[in-house]
Amino acid sequence: MRPEPTATAATTHEVDRIVTSRIDESGTEMFRLRWKGCEAAEDSWRTREQLGDSDNCKALLASFHANVHKKVGFKETATVTRVNAAGNSIVEEVVLKE
């Protein structure tokens, strides 16, 4: 695993891309990062706060979330079928919110 940079380290590592995300046991969103010039075996997990507020990190987060939505295939509406108290099926088109 790629070591954490120290205060005495002469080099800094730049994030190449966000590979995936997960929610850890404490409910914190974590991002698996691929570092520029490094192999997948050197990927590491970081929180949003650890990513910082640089323009590069903001762009990586925006790109990652846009691609996740494409891959998952989020829809704007869904068809919902429910049964009312009289036993009648009711079909509704529901608008979904992100």
Q: Which CATH number fits domain 15-73: 3.40.30.10, 3.40.50.2000, 2.30.110.10, 2.40.50.40?
A: 2.40.50.40
Taking the complete model, does pTM exceed 0.75, yes or no? no
End-to-end CA distance of the chain, in Å? 35
pLDDT of residue 7: 43
Q: So what's the pLDDT on residue 90?
A: 84
Which residue type sits at 28? T
pLDDT at 45: 94
pLDDT of 1 reads 55
Q: What's the pLDDT score for residue 43?
A: 94
pLDDT of residue 42: 93
Beta bridge partners of 82: 90
Spans of all domains in the chain: 15-73
Sheet with 15-23: strands ordered across: 15-23, 29-35, 44-47
Per-residue pLDDT of the chain (98 residues; tens, 9 = 90+): 555 544 444 457 788 999 989 988 888 989 999 999 999 999 999 999 998 888 888 899 998 888 876 665 666 777 888 888 888 888 888 777 65
The count of residues in the chain is 98
